Structure 1
Amino acid sequence: MNKKLIALALAALPAAAMADVTIYGTIKAGIEDNKTYSSSLGLDGNKSPRSGVQVNDWTSSIGFKGSEDVGNGLKAIWQVESRLHMDGTNGNKNAASSDGLGTRDTFVGLAGDSWGKVRLGRLSDYANSDMEQVDPGSYSDESVGGLGMFTRLDGRHNNAIRYDSANWGGFSMAVLWALDENRTTVAGTRTNNQFSNIGLSYENSGYFGKYNYGSWGDSNLVGGNKDWHRFEGGYNANNIYLALGYQQVRGYGFSPFYNGTVGTAVNNAVVNNLVNNGTFATTAQAQAAVNSLLMKTKELALTGGYTFGSFTPYLSYVKGYDVSLNGTNINKSGYDQFVLSLDYALSKRTDVYTSYGHVNWKADGAASESTFGLGLIHRF
């Protein structure tokens, strides 16, 4: 269509129909040299990750949002936000992107200056929306160029309702409840694996402290995560960036483990040991027993940075401790990770970003992982 006709059509729309709509987003992509268990490059004959160069999206998105004053200090609010893949894929390197509308935070709700806001839709848990200070970097799902393992549970939930309070002298809170509308029947019992989440925050003069708690119902029946604690605190002002995080996750079987591929290998070693020492006669019996045991993971993360001019270097370190299975530690089941990164601000909205990340697994036979990335970030 002729550009002049488009301009005339837009000009003809009522001003009120467009005034409350904001278009926003972030475009992020880079080239990465990955040797990771999560990479689509796969594993070699020794079950170690292959290395290779990839062009990857770094979690780009586009959104539309707006509000309407409905009187008495009350506003109707809405948002539709969608995931984009700048590399033309949807997490599958062999297929074209099939990103849909509203795949990120998408909601309708009400807001008031004195009491906060309440929203319905697909919504982030508190850790995903208000935390992650220990992980300021940009990277793909296939890399270890950021703290993706530490933030692995952060996400969005369908069929959710969330309340966010107003700010009370630096204190605030949020509560989320996500319904389980796909309930299944296990051993004659109808499950209800709903998710409940609460977040607490205090921020003042650059200092911050945040706490996240998440809980899944009926996790003992469906074999998933049971509960989740995360604390982050630090200081972000006067060009100084410092963040400390601690996380504990409990769940049944190996569901809370740090990495799925490595977790499977550790799980198999535990199951084989139970069969070899005569505890169970078959692998199936041993696996069923492991799936009913409560696993706990604990992680500690620290990130520091300093801004001088247009440059901000960051250094992050994460310690994943040996996991416990029904109260007994599994030796060599933890990990160490460090990430060194540099952000260079070309302008207020455009950055060049580079990072190097390395993960050392303690498990016998597990290979180390590494990522080098260089990319461009633009916000609009």
Structure 2
Amino acid sequence: MNKKLIAVALAALPVAAMADVTLYGKIKVGVENTKTGNAGSINHIDDLGSRIGFKGSEDLGNGLKAIWQVEQAISVDNGGTGNTWATRDSFIGFQGDFGKVRLGRLSNYQNDSMEDVDPWNYSSPAMGLGTFTRNDTRYNNAIAYDSPEFAGFSGRVLYGVDEARTTVGSNRTNKDTWNVGLGYHFDAFFAKYSYIRQNDQNTDGDKANSSHRFEGGYNANNLYVVLGYQQTKSYGGSLSAANFIYKNAIGNSLVTDSATTGVTGNTEVKDREAALTVGYTFGAITPYISLAKGWDAKFDGVKDSDSGYKQYVIGAQYDLSKRTQLGVAYGKLNADGGKDFDVRAFGVNAVHSF
């Protein structure tokens, strides 16, 4: 009898020790067929962003809590060679009536609070709005403040430290990052805005990249409508749609292929894009259609007629349960630079959240 009681007590210890820890994640896998330019099509079995995380909090009294999270990407299709801990948002911080403050590896506002215009699960950028959302990312060595919600409004300020502070010529650069995000919702309507500034990003180390993103929409009565618009300015085109499409099709950046593109690390590239997604739920099925357009970019103020793009994605999601979904989609991205950059893709996927 005593042995049984001891066994029960020992079994209960880990539960007590882990009472404030939540294990969560997603498994996302798809089968895709893609074709770029005139090359032959390729079949893929791809991980589409699987992750696992641990998070928790501690009540410190007087309405103050300590909060923490460690989250990492996992690749269930190939074992994820090179995957390490804390590859996704991982932090420690404090939360109270004032809002919350976090320090660690943190997403910009676009990455974790926007992307409503891109509901797709995909690997190929043709099968989702990966071109439009290409600058949604995380920053190392970051600190962020999130405000409490007030009358439907909320906001965030994020600062990413440059710990290298390299010297270019006689100028000691500071490639730090600022991100300001604002959100508003009223009933089923919502609107979000993000501004990013990355300092000293050109070759001479004295000019900044910047981007603006807006998303707004309606989500109720089975109808889902979201419109997005963004502008970017970057040196060497590092934030531009033209560079993203070029890298995916050719494998090199505009600067790497400067002899072909004429782009250097001091070339200012400006572009504008818009995207629209509409969905409607019938029972457990939600068909979606997305349209995106990138207008011709300006290189040092001169418009390049071969630097825009047009894209459409059509598909549907089927909810097997609250935690498991199946998806199917077909998409095509037509680049103004020619057929060598065009991509089309078809795929099916499965997603399970835990």
TM-score (norm. length: structure 1): 0.85
Are the counterparts in 2 of residues 225 and 256 from structure 1 also a CA contact under 8 Å?
A: no
Give 1:268 deviation, angstroms.
9.1
Determine which of 296, 299, 320 is the counterpart of 1:322.
Answer: 296
Question: Any idea what SS the aligned residue of 2:111 has?
Answer: helix
Q: 1:27 to 1:138 in 2, by over 3 A?
A: same
Corresponding residue of 1:157: 139
Give CA-to-partner distance per residue, 1:132-162, whole Å, 9 cap, x none.
010011112x442100010000011000001
CA distance in 2, matches of 1:225, 1:134: 27
In structure 2, runs of 5+ residues without a counterpart are: none
Give CA-to-partner distance per residue, 1:65-88, whole Å, 9 cap, x none.
000100010000000001011111
Corresponding residue of 1:117: 100
| Identity rate, percent | 48
Question: Does 1:335 find its partner at 2:290?
Answer: no
Question: Does 1:167 find its partner at 2:158?
Answer: no
Are the counterparts in 1 of residues 328 and 349 from structure 2 also a CA contact under 8 Å?
A: yes
CA distance in 1, matches of 2:254, 2:95: 48
Give CA-to-partner distance per residue, 1:254-286, whole Å, 9 cap, x none.
32332233686977998569xxxxxxxxxxxx6
Q: 1:164 to 1:265 in 2, by over 3 A?
A: closer
Output the amino acid matched with 1:252: Y
Question: Any idea what SS the aligned residue of 2:18 has?
Answer: helix
Q: 1:111 to 1:365 in 2, by over 3 A?
A: same
Q: 1:237 to 1:34 in 2, by over 3 A?
A: same
Aligned residues: 343
Mapping for residues 77-88 of structure 1, pairs under 5 Å: 77-88=67-78
Corresponding residue of 1:218: 200
Question: Does 1:100 find its partner at 2:90?
Answer: no
Are the counterparts in 2 of residues 315 and 338 from structure 1 also a CA contact under 8 Å?
A: yes
Question: Any idea what SS the aligned residue of 2:84 has?
Answer: coil
Determine which of 52, 57, 82 is the counterpart of 2:47.
Answer: 57
Give 1:8 deviation, angstroms.
6.3
Q: 1:54 to 1:205 in 2, by over 3 A?
A: same
Report which stretch shifted further, 251-260 or 193-202.
251-260
Give 1:48 deviation, angstroms.
4.7
Q: 1:354 to 1:246 in 2, by over 3 A?
A: same
TM-score (norm. length: structure 2): 0.91
Give 1:214 deviation, angstroms.
0.2
Are the counterparts in 1 of residues 270 and 299 from structure 2 also a CA contact under 8 Å?
A: yes
Are the counterparts in 1 of residues 160 and 178 from structure 2 also a CA contact under 8 Å?
A: yes
Corresponding residue of 2:159: 177
Report which stretch shifted further, 48-57 or 78-87.
48-57
CA distance in 2, matches of 1:88, 1:320: 34
Corresponding residue of 1:186: 168
Corresponding residue of 2:353: 379
Mapping for residues 198-277 of structure 1, pairs under 5 Å: 198-220=180-202, 221-222=204-205, 226-258=209-241, 259=244, 260-261=246-247
Report which stretch shifted further, 160-169 or 181-190.
181-190
Are the counterparts in 2 of residues 49 and 367 from structure 1 also a CA contact under 8 Å?
A: no
Corresponding residue of 2:11: 11
